[in-house]
A and B are shown apart, each in its own frame.
Chain A
Amino acid sequence: MSGALRVLEHNLFVYRRTWKGSVFMSFVSPVLFLTAMGLGLGSLISRGPVRTVDGLSYVAFLAPGLLAATAMQSAFVETTYPIMARIVWLRTYDGMLATPIRVLDVLAGEFGWLAVRLALGSCAFFLVMVLFGTVHSGLGLLAILVAVMTGLAFGAPIFAFTATQRTDNSFALIGRLLITPLFLLGGVFFPIHQLPQLAQGIAWLTPLAHGVALARGLSIGVLTPSAGVHIAVLLVYAGIGIVAARITLRRRLVP
């Protein structure tokens, strides 16, 4: 356990040099999205025939979904290039493993740090949501936790994949074929039930749809029985990812 904390401490040290820009961006991105899509596009919707989406103003519908999707994107970024750098380009992990630090400590430290980063980003996002008046319930605070879980549900399997790669060629592909389509079609900008039947099925197989559904429910203070399923799906993805990462990273670093 203490080994994991040392790894986390190292990441904190690195972050000390970049935190200002990073924190600034965590506010800028949701403000831009909620203004352009939520208020801009939302004003058109409110003047249209349906006026609301699933009973919510468009910005209130959009914000919690975007919170979860932003966590997904951050997790994707954090578990591809920086991890590749620490495995291959900078060989930071080789340095760590020459000390009492074990592969398991590296993983625990990195996932712990990922959770911290996701929590920070999600808190910033949540503050923006409060300012935009889209949080209708105290339960909404739990949406931050949901966002962190959604991020880990993507980050852990992607980390496991990154540990198998020799180059960064495939990361752009993951972005284009997985992350961007999910961001656009996974229930963030419009309800999943508007998709064709087959696409709906696919969407529900991914963690994003479950994270979005949970966050949306919590932000308006509604917790349906299906919440249990959503939570389970997120935990299963994160769990499988962590176990897989333990195997692939060990194979990579301690041949």
Chain B
Amino acid sequence: MATPATRTDALIHARGLTKRFANLVAVDAIDFDVARGEAFGFLGPNGAGKTSTMRMIGCVSMASSGTLRVLGMDPVQDGPKIRARLGVVPQSDTLDLELHVDENLYTYARYFGLPRDVARRRAQQLLEFVQLADRARDDVELLSGGMKRRLTIARALVNEPELLLLDEPTTGLDPQARHLVWDRLYRLKQQGVTIVLTTHYMDEAEQLCDRLVVMDKAKIVAFGSPRSLIDQYSSREVLELRFPIDTTPALDKLDGVAERIEPLPDRVLLYTSDGEAATVAVHNRGLRPESTLVRRSTLEDVFLRLTGRSLIE
């Protein structure tokens, strides 16, 4: 892909990285580099290979072939050494329901070999950072989904990691909880923590990621900053047309109105540099959509273009 050929300063360096399971290629010879201090995203639908890639970076799954270096080390040889400097937020929480909120952080800090007093102090600080200090002595079971997610993020930070891996950090959270998580991640980035995350939310990728790759069917299909991906793969504006049920016109009636036309089950997307002009053109052709909406292009449009389907299916 568009990756520079060599980046010796890369925190993560992957070439031809492949993961095969019994009768499935989960990750198919992907190349990417993650630089220190950036926020890097893997975007793609379920089953695209994002989680398999994250697990290889996290040294809990071995690559079937290809090269992978994390923090300059080899995950096969130096798994524990690498993991000592990583923070991992897995897709589904693995919090210890048998322990209290603060005990979750304390025992986790101990796994990293932190002395008892340091572990206690850090647990306290992190609970404040994720706004859970008042729940310290509660059972984890009593926390809401968003609180559990924040606790998982706090737990991933007990070893003050250089590299934070987050697998779908806000899936299933309500908007308020998501914004709080985003805010905390943004602060960590400001502190110099390198962030790698997977998501199938466009707004999350646009909010957080400096650069991202789009994965589909085990391969990387596009690479760049959110802005450059939109510039490269989509038009400036999008006109969304919604027609009354069963009256969607044949697509050839829209020929020439826009650079590209994308019919979806519930609406038709027209990719154009000038949405207003396209709206006028549609009406001039005698078409009467129930509603029209002109908006800027998003990563969702990039994804539709690249894979022919919507991200969240």
CA distance A41 to B159 in the complex (A): 60
Q: Flag A1-37 by CB within 8 Å of B: 1 or 0 each.
A: 0110010011001100100000000000000000000
User: Which A-chain residue is minimally distant from B98 (CB atoms)?
Assistant: A14
B92 within 8 A of A: yes
Q: Flag B86-109 by CB within 8 Å of A: 1 or 0 each.
A: 101010101111110001001110
Contacts of A9 in B (CB 8 A): 107, 110
A102 within 8 A of B: yes
Q: Flag A100-113 by CB within 8 Å of B: 1 or 0 each.
A: 11100000000000
Whether B21 and A255, one on each chain, are in contact in the complex, defined by CB atoms closer than 8 angstroms, is: yes
Q: Flag A53-90 by CB within 8 Å of B: 1 or 0 each.
A: 00000000000000000000000000000000000001
Q: Flag A223-255 by CB within 8 Å of B: 1 or 0 each.
A: 000000000000000000000000000000111
Whether A94 and B98, one on each chain, are in contact in the complex, defined by CB atoms closer than 8 angstroms, is: no
Number of interface residues of B (CB under 8 A): 31
B112 within 8 A of A: yes
A sample of 19 more A-B contacts (CB under 8 A), given A13-B103, A102-B80, is A3-B80, A9-B107, A9-B110, A10-B110, A90-B98, A95-B90, A95-B95, A95-B155, A96-B111, A98-B58, A98-B88, A98-B90, A98-B94, A98-B156, A99-B112, A100-B84, A100-B112, A254-B61, A255-B21
Some 20 contacts from A to B, beta carbons below 8 A apart, are A2-B113, A3-B80, A9-B110, A10-B96, A10-B107, A91-B90, A94-B60, A95-B96, A98-B58, A98-B60, A98-B88, A98-B90, A98-B94, A99-B83, A100-B111, A100-B113, A102-B80, A254-B61, A255-B21, A255-B61
Interface positions of A (Cβ within 8 A of B): 2-3, 6, 9-10, 13-14, 17, 90-92, 94-102, 253-255
The 10 A-B pairs at the shortest CB distance, nearest first, are namely: A95-B94, A99-B111, A98-B88, A100-B80, A91-B94, A14-B98, A100-B84, A10-B107, A94-B94, A6-B111
